[in-house]
Amino acid sequence: MKRLVSGLQPTGSLHLGNYIGAIAQFVELQHQYDSFFFVADYHSLTGRPTKKELTASTYHVLAMLIACGVDPRSATVFVQSQVPEHTELSWIFSNFCSVGQLKRMTQYKEKSDQYGQNVGLFTYPVLMAADVALYQAEVVPVGDDQIQHLELAREIIRSVNAHAGNVFTEPKPLLTKGSRIMSLSDPTKKMSKSLAGSAIGLLDDEATIIRNIKRAVTDSDPNSAKPSKALQNLFTILEVVAGPEAVKDMEAMRKDGKLRYSELKELLIEETLHFLEPIQKTYSSLIKDPKALELMALNGSRRARTIAQENLSIAKKALGLVG
Residue positions annotated with a catalytic role: 111, 190, 193
Q: What contacts 24+ positions apart, CB below 8 Å, involve 202-208? A: 202/13, 202/14, 202/15, 202/16, 202/18, 202/19, 202/64, 202/68, 202/276, 202/279, 202/280, 202/283, 203/13, 203/14, 203/280, 203/283, 204/276, 206/273
Burial 230-265 (b: 16+ CB within 10 A, else e): bbebbbbbbbbbbeeebbeebeebbeeeebebeebb
| DSSP 8-state code for residue 39 | E
Cβ-contact 160, 167 below 8 angstroms: yes
Task: Supply φ then ψ for residue 174, to 5 degrees.
Answer: -115, 100
The C-alpha atoms of residue 183 and residue 234 are separated, in whole angstroms, by 10
The C-alpha atoms of residue 128 and residue 45 are separated, in whole angstroms, by 14
Burial 302-314 (b: 16+ CB within 10 A, else e): eebbebbeebbee
49 contacts: CB under 8 Å, gap ≥ 6: 11, 57
